[in-house]
Amino acid sequence: MLTSTTPDPALAPGLWDELVRLVRGGDVCVLTGAGISTESGIPAYRGADGERRVTPMTVSELLRSPAARQRYWARAYTGWPRFAAAEPNDGHRAVARLQDLGLVGTVITQNVDGLHQQAGARDVTELHGSLSYVVCADCGERYAREVVDEWLAGANPHFDREISGQVRPDGDVVLTDEQVAGFRIAACVVCRSDRLKPDVVMFGESVVRPVVDACFEAVDRSRALLVLGSSLMVMSGYRFARHAAREGIPVAAITHGVTRADDLIDVKVDAPLGPTLRRLVEAVAA
């Protein structure tokens, strides 16, 4: 594996040229993780060492416990305006530009923020769903997040959602028990169940098979896989790097720190995503 841990990939002999060559050849499938959105103010689950810094609520806890739902939705209601206000950064715009240049096809993202689409990317597969939607766990009715947000605002007219605190990767803000107390959650208008959940793959859930199969097909159609901002520590993303390597498809990565697929990656650059991708676009477009 060619690798660089310097901010300037050109300092590693042959590394930058190999990365440019792979991308310039076209038919690249891109797999992105939380690292591409950190420059937009959305933190990642894991640090550069690959260790998880945040332990989110599991789906079983959310659906089993009314108290857990109250806690989840109070925190999510507080964080939603800040999460929704995040804007695409240079990394997202660079991926869209690589598509415009005809070099990148499908973008598989592990992120739930919709920033690739906002940046103009097409053919985006949201592996873990989107926080822009909410689904009823009992009847399956799906709602736009803005609609549920209006319900929560109407049910909690005196709740202070300007409480300070950093938005976490799931778009929520940590609150105390006192801040959560009294928060009223919403219910599905179809079946009246209050077992609403974000339409994302929560911890304890699996990505549905049709989505996984579509991603494998996208990798198979490609001549290279480019991993951006992902440690690949969870199987949902790691399996595609492993599949590409097994099929003889070169794997390149631009990300911070260790990845689970370090032994499978052909070219790895440890550098900031935005500046590095901006420079990559300039190189392949020249």
Enumerate the known binding-site residues. Answer: 136, 139, 188, 191
Q: Which residue has the tokens 């778009």?
A: 171
Binding site per annotation, positions for Zn(2+): 136, 139, 188, 191
Closest by Cα among 98, 262, 73, 91 to 149: 73
> Which of the residues 128, 158, 243, 256 is marked catalytic?
128
Specify whether 92 is catalytic.
Answer: no
Which amino acids are annotated catalytic?
128
